[in-house]
Structures are given as structure tokens and as C-alpha cells.
Structure 1
């Protein structure tokens, strides 16, 4: 649900996407990495855009991340992002790095850009070399797919085991001028903070300096993408990248700008919505799980406990089976590494309080099972120790998850 500022200031754009902000175009095509589905996509800005990124915490970082880091280190302004699905170009040694460079150079040549204004991203199977000839041939065809209306094609082209395209755009007002923030993400399995086999891209026509944008992205990522988990595994290719091309022509935004709060809230809303969609689309998942923790003594404590609950396999399987076994939630809290007074804890599942000040309440097991059978399951924990809170998102753990990952390559 939106908070008060969001309800008053944020307008959701129907069918909005990564290409909704002024001066952005996108496209997606099938180039032959996968059998039939779109597997190559691009985002283009009409002008160089202030850019920022955060990357996987996995010590094995795939070649495309290394190339993108190099581009942004040279100059924090990008004009294109190219993404392929079906092959992660990870653990492919020096050849993988050269293939990523070739992707970057092919985009630069096709769109008459500096290679340093191009970012590269890949997602899919680890350990296999890219079919680079198919990809470069596909890049040459990407201009035909470009349109400000084709953001959903890009969103489709970056999917792997995802079941739906994750795209959004919102409109806010800055200095009385229309500012749009668009986003697209992919992610379904190998999802765990910090980052996951997850790619997310956020564009805006707002005017904002790269340093301010980088700080904003790190802060918002900690509240959104780093608060989701599907299976506890962090991938080699995760990246969240944002571009701001300034074509809304507002005065540069920073924390002292009178409209900073509405921009911050809008950016955060887009990131959280994409994060929740990733959690909802976990491999084999049937339910989105939201865990709110209140009454913690620090933000880190609240985040750690929320993520511990939503990431527990025992909690996830109980939710799948609609089994109101709140003892598993207690177990997860106790495994968080933080000191908690068990006699103060309250736990609510859906609308039903099952634990109050550390004691089991009188409740209907059938009602709890009904709450756990909803498409979105909400768990609320109050520690009654402090004033800090956090929310994390995940999904249930099903037989289908095992089936998908037991035959991922076949």
C-alpha cells in the first residue's frame, strides 16, 4: 500500500515501462540464444544520462559486470544498456570478458556511441560461452525494435525462468514539471540479499547529478532489492542500474531540493514494486510473503530478523502448506543473532494474533490456515524493544521449485 505522500503525489502510468520517461526508447528481439523467446534487449537514451549501479556481493562477478563497472568508472554517463538472456557469460574466463567487450563495441558502432557510454548485462546459464556471433548479428537489428512504446518487449527479452514481465512507470511533479520514473526487472530463482540472479533497471527524465543518484540508489536498494529472498542464493550477475537523462529540465535534484522527498518516495516506490514482483515470481511460488518487523532497537536488527523469517525454509514450507506453525517464526527470530526478549514478542499472521507477549493466544487454526492460503501472506512481528522497523519479501517453497532447478539446463 502507498503511504500518504505516495497517494497524494504519485500517479501510476497504465502499461508504463522503462521507456516511459522522456527521451528513452527500448526494444527486444529474438537473436537465437534461446529457442523461441526474446533474448536480446536494449535501452537507449537520446542524450547521455547520469548513471549509477550497484552489483552482486558474490565474489565471482560475471564478465558483463566488469565491463559495465569499467564504463561507469570512465564516466558516470551512459546512453545505452544492452542485455541478453539465456546465457550469463559467467565463469567463462578471459574469453567471456572479450565477448562482453564485443557486445559493448557492437552497440557503440550500431548506435554511433562511445563504448564507454554503453553498459552490458547478461543472465542465464553459468559456465557456457556466449554465442557472440548471434548476439552481434542481433545487435545490428536492434534499431528496428526501438520505440518509446517497446519497454515491455525489453522486459520480456531479459526474462529467464520468470513467469511474467515486471514493468512499471510513475509520474510525479518536480517544480511543477512532469517527471517520470520507469522500471523493469527480472528475477525468479537464485534470489537473496544482497542482490540476486536479478537485474533491475530504473530510468527517469529527472535532472540529478551522478553522485547524488549513486547515493540514492544505494539507499533505496537497501530498502527494496536487498530485502527480498527466494532461495538464499546470491548470483554472479546481479545488478541494479539507473539512468537519469535530465530531459524534464528541472533544477538538479538533491536532498536540499524542495521536491526531493517526492522524488525519493517515487523512486523508492518503483524499486519496492519491482522487488515485490520478483519475490512473488519466485520459481515455483504460489504466494507472496511479506514480513514486517517492528519494535527493534536498530534498523539493522529489524532488517536481519525480517529477512531471517522470510528466508527460512521451514517458514516457507509451512506457508506453502497453509500450516499455522508460528513456532517456526520464533525459531527464525532466535536464529537472527540478535538478543530478543521472548516474553515481549507479538506475532500476527494475516489479521490473527497468534502470540501476544510471548504467550499463545486463543485463535482458530482454520482461520490461520485461511490467512496462509491467500495469494499474499502477511506476517507481523513486534519485538517491543525499540522504535525501528523493516519489511522483507519472499515466497513459499514448493515442489515446483525443486522440479525447475533439478532440470534447469535441460
Structure 2
């Protein structure tokens, strides 16, 4: 029998000169910086004297096979959302982690800040932003002091060294009394590999990933996807067995990274080497998990919680009990700490259905949270309310009668259809088109609407004295024009569509690609200004709305890693949405009958290769080119794409529910 030797290198205590933790494995370096993040978050004007390091960067010399598990809380920090997206590419090379500010419950600004942290780190290390994972821990509901973070990232990236692993573990501490690290070596059939880790956590620790941040690195070479397969079983045997105070944070993160620096033959799933490697990783994780349990916090206080707007009385009771029994909520009240973010956390992990964009929370009659983010409130008054002998917390979950049982038709149950609407195609048959959308929802299909608004943007620009300019059919978008784009799409077009769907008996929610963020973008070119292309689609906010019976109405605006909004062609956005969601169909509504051949007749069915040939020979020209390109892009995952005349009443029903259909169908 092949035996594997495991040699323990540290006992998971405070580390020390010989324990380099997350940089113990070959090919990993770390750097730290003292930024004063907590102080600036609280309003300080300068870094406090004797400020300890509160930001670290970890760099791998090679791309890592990476796996991650995250918080089960329904209220997730911006960093968790961004990391979910970046892990899909599985080419991570760096981590940037800060303490002092959780960047949770911070709305759209929080996502901008998380994306910018990834970009700043990538720029300093000559990487792509999606090769960087971001983690934050600290106070909830406050914006990140990005100027301090920017300087800290630059300093940490300039200070990278393999000897700084213990420093990195100290930089991520919040209420921890000691750094938490562990490392060991494992003898495999192909040689020796190293495993090291660091974590933080002393509050909000509970089974199911509870704020705990944990990172384990190894220099083992592994087959792609092995770390993703291992990370959940490792968590279940270590961190998910810890219970300190019964709370689950918005930021919990556990990452496994393998960079192959050891040079062994890649380890495959199910092999003896895979079992030995996993055993070593579990050992490191268990040592760190026990150190978290030894460093726990907790306290108690009596509170009264009232919950409304729930799906049922039992769900309201579930949410109320979660808040009332939360040790961290009671600790905050007992200590007079106006940290209402802990209440939002407790609601999020209660198991009750909750719409974060409609959640309303008040303490002692003072509103502290609504419309997806915190509101300006006198924290002194909240502190005074906590000092009273009886404290009342009132939460409205924003569900109510929103979940309806629709008569699904078995044939179409659960299928997603992405429809691009807007522009001239909606001017003549708007109500009929949106009636079709409502009907699709009622028969069990899941329509997702993407809209532009070219005519409205042009009209508003001219009204404001701006001269529209176009290149290759795309609107050149300077800063002033971008403000007009956002104002028109999110302030007029989207609300009008949503209001019409709701009036017609459906349920719709308008959102920009910046929200969530649903769309991560990059500049199309310097000469185009704030015109972008889609880098990645975050489907989670969209599928969450679909799951609750809503029709998502998405404005074709994306959020860049630089924090800027970008104007994106709506056809392109619709295609990328269809691919990301695995839609059954993509339908582009336009103001022409379809793709015409040289004889002037509409081509009913167009194969992919034929479509490419027609564009190359010039048979298809002008505005039809980006539409056809969008259809071809969607065929990577979508079986069929359609270009139809949105001016025809009930064109969607004619295409979907008749044998002949209308317009042009593009297929493989």
C-alpha cells in the first residue's frame, strides 16, 4: 500500500519567524500596508500613529487552479459577488484583502470599489482584473476609503516577499486577538508538496461558512477543477464544524489555490495523490478552524423584533427569531454600538425570503436601511435607542404578495427567453409587445428584457445642446453624453417599460447593468469614450428575480473595473445575457421584417455559416450587421436566435407560438 507522509510545520498559533503561512508553498509572495482603513471609514483625516497593517496582497508566480466557497447569507458583500464571477475563469494569480471595512450593504458604490480594488491590484502586478480575487472584512454599511486603499495596494505590491506570510495573516485581523496560520508538507508519489494557510475570525462564526476569511495555498500541480471539487468537502470537515456565536457574515470566504510550482505530475481526481493532498489540506484547515473557536466573542440582551412584508406568518416568525437570537445583534445593543449591519446580516441568513432592494429596517422608529442600502441617520440617536430598557426593531422584507402561483404550461416551464426591446421597434406596438411578455411569464416561460433607447438619447442630447456623433453605427459617448445615457435609460425608458408591464398584470423590476453588477465592461476604444464591450455577465441577480416571478428589465449599461459606467450596444448585451443565462431563445426586435436576401425577400432560416458569408460578401450591411453578429455570438450556447419586426402587433407570440413564425431565425 502506498503511504503518504505528512509533516506538520506549525501548530496554528501566532506564527513566528519560521511560519510563513500562506506563502509557505513555493511560488507565493505577500506584501502588506498600513492604510488606516478603519480610521478613515470612521471619518479620520489622517492615518493614526502606530497604525498596524490592514491590507495585504498575495501573488502567485503562476496561474492557480482555484476553488472557493462563500457565505450562505442572502446579503452578500460586493467582494463575494465579484469573486464568484472571477472564479469562473479559473486563472487566479493574486489576492487583495483588507480589514477595517467589509464593503457590504454599500449598494452600487460597493461593487465599483470592489472592481476597482481588483483593477488596481492587477495594474500594479501586470495582470488582468479577473486574475485577482478581492476580500474585505470589518464594519458593515460604510463606503470604502478608496484613496487610502489605492495607496495601500501600491505599497503592498511593491513589498512582495515570501517571508511576509505571517505579516499578511496579521493584516487581515479585525477583532482577532492573534493571527491564525498553519502549514505542512505532504510526500506524494511524485515528490514533496507544501501547503500553507491563514485565516481570520472571532465573531460571526457558525456552521455553513460563517466573518471568516480563510486562504490555503499549495504548490502542488493539479488537474484543472480539482481545487473546486475539494473546497466544499474540506470546508465541511473544518470551518463548517465551528460554532461560536450563531451568526453568519456577509463576507465569509474560503479559497484553495494550487499553482504547480512543485513541478509534480498534475494530480487527478480519485487518485491516491489526490486523497493525500486533500488530507493535508484538511489538516491545515482544521488547525485554523480550532484557532477560530478559541478566539470567539458573544454577549446577550433583550430586544423586540417585528417583521412584516413576509411571504407568510411562519417566514415572518423565522426572520424575527433570527434577529432576536443573534449574539452579535445583542452584543451591539448591549454595548451601544449602532452597527445596524448585524441586523441585516441576521435577516439575510434567517432562511426567510427577502428582497434586498425592498428591505426596510428601522430601530426605535429611525429608518437605517431601505432600497438596498443604508440611509443617513444620526448614529448618536441610534446609540441612545440601544441604551433604552426596551428596543424595538421593525423589518419589512419586501415580499408580501409578490410571489404568485402562475399557471405554468409544462412544455415551457422554466425556459429563459432573452428579448431585446426598445428604440423604433417599440414605437408602434409597445403595449402589444409587453402584453406578449406578460403572457410568456404566465405560461411558465421566463422572459428577460434588454433595452436600449437610441432615439430618446438623441432627442435628449439635442435638447441639452449636445451634438450626437457616431462611428460604425455606435454612439461616441463622452462624459456628458454618458450622463444623458444613464438619465434616459434608467430614468425614463426602463421605468416606462416596468410600469407598463405592471399595469398589464405582470411583475417587472428595472435594473441597469451597473446593478449587481449585472454587466462588467471594458472600454471599446479610446476614440469612443465611454462605449464599452461586455467582459462578463453576472447572472445571479437576474436568476434571483426570475425565481421570484419577476421580469427583469435591463438597461444596456455596464460597470467597468475603473468604476465608470459604459454605454453598450443593446443587441450585444442581449446576446451576452442569453449566453450567460443559457437561454432557450434570443429574440431581437427591430424595425425591419428581418434579414433580407439579394432578391429583397426576408430569409426565414439562416444557418451560421451562411450568415457569415452574407456579411463577408456585403449582402448584409449597416445596422443589420451588429444584430446578426449578436445572433451568431449567442449560438455558442443558445439553440436559436431570431430577428423579428417589433412593429408587428404581438410579434413575439407570432414567432414563438405559430408554426411559420415571422422574421429570420438564425441557427447552427
Which runs of 4 or more aligned residues in structure 1 lie more than 6 Å from their structure 2 counterparts after TM superposition? none
Of 221-230 and 34-43, more deviation after overlay is shown by 34-43
Q: What are the equivalent positions in structure 2 for 1:7-406 lying under 5 Å apart?
A: 8-12=5-9, 14-34=18-38, 35=48, 36-73=51-88, 75-283=89-297, 402=331, 406=335
Contact persistence 2:37–2:101 (CA under 8 A): yes
Contact persistence 2:99–2:172 (CA under 8 A): yes
2:85 and 2:334 mapped to 1: Cα distance?
33
Q: CA deviation at 1:77?
A: 1.7
Q: CA deviation at 1:214?
A: 1.0
Contact persistence 1:206–1:245 (CA under 8 A): yes
Distance 1:102 1:200, change over 3 A: same
SS in 2 for 1:142: helix
Contact persistence 1:16–1:170 (CA under 8 A): no
Partner of 1:337: none
Distance 1:253 1:155, change over 3 A: same
SS in 1 for 2:169: helix
Q: CA deviation at 1:31?
A: 1.0
2:177 and 2:284 mapped to 1: Cα distance?
20
Q: CA deviation at 1:284?
A: 6.5
Q: CA deviation at 1:85?
A: 0.4
Distance 1:119 1:407, change over 3 A: farther
Distance 1:145 1:407, change over 3 A: farther
Contact persistence 1:47–1:79 (CA under 8 A): yes
Contact persistence 1:284–1:404 (CA under 8 A): no
Q: TM-score, normalised by structure 1?
A: 0.67
Q: CA deviation at 1:178?
A: 1.8
Q: Which has the larger radius of gyration?
A: 2
Partner of 1:392: none
Gaps of 5+ in 2: 11-17, 39-47, 301-326, 340-382, 384-668
Q: CA deviation at 1:124?
A: 0.4
Report Cα offsets for 1:185-218 as digits up to 9, x if no partner. 0000011121111000000000113422111111
Q: CA deviation at 1:56?
A: 0.2
Distance 1:262 1:69, change over 3 A: same
Contact persistence 1:192–1:230 (CA under 8 A): yes
Contact persistence 2:20–2:164 (CA under 8 A): no
Gaps of 5+ in 1: 286-312, 314-397
1:231 and 1:117 mapped to 2: Cα distance?
34
2:193 and 2:147 mapped to 1: Cα distance?
39
2:34 and 2:333 mapped to 1: Cα distance?
23
